[in-house]
Amino acid sequence: MAAEEPMPEKKLIDPINRYVYIARADGRVDVTDPDTGKTGIFDDKGVWHSGELTYANRQLLGWIGRLAVRRATPGGDS
């Protein structure tokens, strides 16, 4: 049985505040503020789950988070 390949990293930088959004295979999104170093974990609906950073752009979270879930689902979009 072949090992499951890891999902390629999907990363987005908000052009307004420069927050870095990185999709996780579970559909959650790691968000980092490069100015303060604070991080937070959010779901694709914008709900905060953990970390010092408690706000992130809901539109970007939805876009990148749903993309990660689709890619992790067998037969999902590439």
Residue 28 maps to a domain: yes
Query: Six-digit token pair at 37?
Result: 């170093």
**Residue 65: partners with Cβ closer than 8 Å, 6 or more residues away:** 23, 27, 28, 29, 42, 43, 44, 45
Residues of the domain holding 44: 11-72
Residue 33 maps to a domain: yes
N residues, the chain: 78
Q: Are 61 and 41 in contact (CB under 8 A)?
A: no
Count structural domains, the chain: 1
Residue 65 maps to a domain: yes
* pLDDT given at position 26: 84
- The whole-angstrom separation of Cα 21 and Cα 3 is 27
- The whole-angstrom separation of Cα 17 and Cα 20 is 9
Residue 26 maps to a domain: yes
Q: State mean pLDDT over 46-67.
A: 93
Q: Does the pLDDT of residue 45 top 60, yes or no?
A: yes
What's the pTM value of the predicted model, to 2 decimals? Answer: 0.77
Residue 5 maps to a domain: no
